[in-house]
Amino acid sequence: MVSSITRADVRLVAACMTEHVGQENTVRYGWPIGGISGRAGRWIIANEAEREMVIADLGSRIKETQARVKALQNIKLAPEAPKEVKAVQPPMFDVEQPVNRLAYWNR
């Protein structure tokens, strides 16, 4: 496929991209650009199979993100420590603790 790219193709892409230099001028919607999460790189979608693959990946990411949002909305947060109490880093080794700091989470 690379061998079929002509100098005219390269000039056309360069001309299109001159309007999109800098992050504030990112090319986003309206261009058939594909990418798959967990894989490096982006490309111009060439066929219907690639389009469907990218759409399926985006749909999966939506579901994962919605699940994370729901989990965060429903999670019980630990109460804040009183202002006069300094936070103490837990020990690195198993030693007897004067206070069970994890009691809240083990309920």
What mean pLDDT do residues 25-42 have? Answer: 78
Give the tens place of pLDDT for each residue, 77-104: 888 766 765 666 666 776 665 555 555 5
Rounded to an integer, what distance in angstroms lies between the CA atom of residue 47 and that of residue 9?
18
- CA nearest neighbour of 79 among 105, 52, 40, 53: 105
Q: Which of 44, 47, 12 is nearest to 30 (CA)?
A: 44
pTM (2 d.p.) = 0.49
Name the residue ranges covered by the structural domains of the chain.
2-74
- Sign of the torsion angle spanned by Cα atoms 35, 36, 37, 39: negative
Q: What is the mean pLDDT of residues 48-69?
A: 94
Q: Are 27 and 20 in contact (CB under 8 A)?
A: yes
